[in-house]
């Protein structure tokens, strides 16, 4: 699990990071809002854990812009604030959970486990697509008729995103925003090529094109 931690308290950030190492979480720490913003748009994370009142750019402001851009990455806010408006605003801006400081590390772990379950983040290593095809989240490969098939990087990332959002319409814009960096945005034709390749890999009708809207991976 890949986590971006925004926390300007150096001691607390180190304590959380060391705890996450024991849980086998891959954690990147930043101490200021602008550094978090830069990483959000240049890298991909499974979970964000943000303090609200940090130098340069407020954590709530960062999330607001991030959500407006179309990103769905779940976020847990940390704050010592007792202002109920901060709590309310965190959810209004698209926050998924809120923990007041001070807190026990075990509580943070429980909240993370809940987010993992809700968003299907590495809760399973193998996801089933149909009766004879599965997807290995760990090495991003297809298991077809018990044989493991290595996939090109982007096809694998698209399949993973569709699987984690199964039975939900995914627009082309959402795919681009959540898989590609801004500087490497693909053309619509390129997306269609990837989808065509994925259909060949899956060899069934579970990946449906909703004309003019996007794609849906239908799984019972």
CATH number, position 192: 1.10.10.10
State which of 118, 140, 174 marks the end of a domain.
118
Whether residue 113 is found in the same domain as residue 6: yes
> What was the pLDDT predicted at 38?
92
Whether residue 132 is found in the same domain as residue 107: no
Residue 95 has pLDDT above 90, yes or no: yes
> What was the pLDDT predicted at 146?
78
Beta strand 2-6 with 47-51: parallel, antiparallel or unpaired? parallel
124 band by pLDDT with thresholds 50, 70 and 90:
low
Q: What global pTM score does this model have?
A: 0.65
Question: pLDDT per residue over 66-89, tens digit each?
Answer: 999 889 899 999 998 888 888 888
Question: pLDDT per residue over 126-144, tens digit each?
Answer: 888 887 888 998 889 999 8
State which of 118, 138, 159 marks the end of a domain.
118
Domain range for residue 198? Answer: 126-217
Whether residue 105 is found in the same domain as residue 135: no
State which of 74, 90, 118 marks the end of a domain.
118
Count the domains in the chain.
Answer: 2
Q: What is the DSSP string of the chain?
A: -EEEEE-S-HHHHHHHHHHHHHTT-EEEEESSHHHHHHHHTTS--SEEEEESS-SSS-HHHHHHHHHHTT----EEEEE----HHHHHHHHHTT--EEEESS--HHHHHHHHHHHHHHTTSSS-SEEEEETTEEEETTTTEEEETTEEEE--HHHHHHHHHHHHTTTS-B-HHHHHHHHS-GGGPPPHHHHHHHHHHHHHHH-SS-EEEETTTEEEE---
Q: Which of 115-129, 155-169, 192-206 has the lowest mean pLDDT?
A: 115-129
Q: How far apart are CA 201 and CA 155, in angstroms?
A: 9
Whether residue 108 is found in the same domain as residue 145: no
Question: pLDDT per residue over 147-191, tens digit each?
Answer: 888 999 999 999 999 988 888 999 999 899 888 877 778 999 999
């Amino acid at each position: 699990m890949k986590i971006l931690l925004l926390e300007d308290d150096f001691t607390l950030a180190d304590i959380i990071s060391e705890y996450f190492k024991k849980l086998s979480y891959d954690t990147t720490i930043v101490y200021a809002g602008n550094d978090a913003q830069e990483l959000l748009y240049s890298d991909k994370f499974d979970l964000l854990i943000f303090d609200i009142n940090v130098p340069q750019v407020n954590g709530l402001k960062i999330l607001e812009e991030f959500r407006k851009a179309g990103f769905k990455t779940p976020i847990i806010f940390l704050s010592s604030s007792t202002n109920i408006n901060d709590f309310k605003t965190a959810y209004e801006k698209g926050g998924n959970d809120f923990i007041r400081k001070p807190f026990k590390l075990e509580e943070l772990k429980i909240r993370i486990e809940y987010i993992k379950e809700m968003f299907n983040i590495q809760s399973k290593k193998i996801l089933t697509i149909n009766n004879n095809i599965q997807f290995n989240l760990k090495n991003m490969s297809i298991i077809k008729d018990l044989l493991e098939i290595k996939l090109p990087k982007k096809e694998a990332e698209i399949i993973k995103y569709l699987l984690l959002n199964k039975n939900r319409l995914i627009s082309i814009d959402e795919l681009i925003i959540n898989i590609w960096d801004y500087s490497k945005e693909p053309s619509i034709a390129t997306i269609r090529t990837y989808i065509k390749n994925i259909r060949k890999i899956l060899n069934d009708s579970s990946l449906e094109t909703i004309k003019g809207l996007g794609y849906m991976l239908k799984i019972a």
